[in-house]
Amino acid sequence: MEETKERDALVTGNIRLVHACANRFKDRGVEYEDLFQAGCVGLVKAAAGFDPALGFRFSTYAVPAILGEIRRIFRDGGTVKIGRSAKEKAKRLLDLQQSLTVSLGREPTVREIAESAKLEPEETAALLSACLPPVSLTAEEDGGEIDLPEKDEHEAIQQRLDLSAAMNRLPERDRTLIELRYFKGYTQTATAQCLGMSQVQVSRSEKRILGVLRGYLL
C-alpha cells in the first residue's frame, strides 16, 4: 500500500514534466491533448518502474519514458491508436475496477486491479490511462473554457542565456558540480566520486552554489 501511495505521489507531483515534454512537440500536426495523454502514459510507466535505490532523480528516469510515448504518436501516424486486443483488455479492467470499487467500498489502486487481473502494474496502468477519453485542458466545470497562457519562446531563450551567463561566473569546480548534478543527472555520491569529495561536501556545496546562482539570476 505504501509503495502504491509513493507511485501515485510521483505521478501527481510530476505532471509538469509531461507538460514540458509535450510542449516540445507542439505545432507538429498533433493535438496537444493527444501529446499530453501519451506523455501521461509514459509518466505512469516510469513511476511504476522507478527504483529510488539506484540513486537517480525521478525526473532523469521519467523524461525518456515520457518522450518515448509521445514520439510513438508520430510513428503511429499522428494519433493515439489503441489496438483491438488492448481495448478488450482495458474494458475488462474497467469492469474489474467497478467490481472492486463495490467490494472494497473505495476506489481500488492500480496494484490491486493488476493483482486481480493477473497483470503487471505497468501494463495495467498503461491500459487504463491510454483508453481514457481525451480531456480538455481548458474545460471548466460549468462547461466553459479557460485560457491557458501561451509559452513565450523569447522568454525561454532569455532564461537559458541568463542561466548560461550565471554559470560562467562560477569557479570551474562549482560549475562542474552543477553540470554533473543538474545537466547530467549524477547522484550526489557519483558527483563526489568524480570530484574527489564526500557526499556530505557535495550536498553542502550544492546548496551554497545554488544560492549564488539565484543571486546572479535575481
Q: Report the candidate in 102, 101, 130, 124 with the shortest Cα–Cα distance to residue 111.
A: 124
Predicted pLDDT at 4: 66
Indicate if 26 and 103 belong to the same structural domain. yes
Predicted pLDDT at 63: 87
pLDDT digits (tens, 9 = 90+) for 93-106: 888 888 888 888 88
Q: Which amino acid is at 147?
A: D
- d(C-alpha 84, C-alpha 33), whole Å: 22
Indicate if 105 and 191 belong to the same structural domain. no
Residue 144 lies in a domain: no
* 48 and 6 Cβ atoms separated by less than 8 Å: no
Between 40 and 151, where is the model more confident? 40
Predicted pLDDT at 195: 92
pLDDT digits (tens, 9 = 90+) for 92-143: 888 888 888 888 888 788 788 888 888 887 677 777 665 555 444 444 445 5
Q: What are 145's strand-pairing partners?
A: 139
Question: Which DSSP string corresponds to 198-212?
Answer: -HHHHHHHHHHHHHH
* 206 and 188 Cβ atoms separated by less than 8 Å: yes
* CA neighbours closer than 13 Å in the CB half-sphere of residue 96: 20
Indicate if 54 and 162 belong to the same structural domain. no
Q: Looking up cell 544560492, which residue turns up?
A: 211
Domain that holds residue 83: 2-130
pLDDT above 90 for 155: no
Residue 157's pLDDT band, with cuts at 50, 70 and 90, is: low
Q: Looking up cell 505497468, which residue turns up?
A: 122
pLDDT digits (tens, 9 = 90+) for 47-84: 887 777 766 778 888 888 888 888 887 776 545 455 56
Count of domains for the chain = 2
Residue 48 lies in a domain: yes
Predicted pLDDT at 140: 46
Indicate if 30 and 124 belong to the same structural domain. yes
* 32 and 137 Cβ atoms separated by less than 8 Å: yes
Q: Which amino acid is at 122?
A: E
Tell me the pTM: 0.39
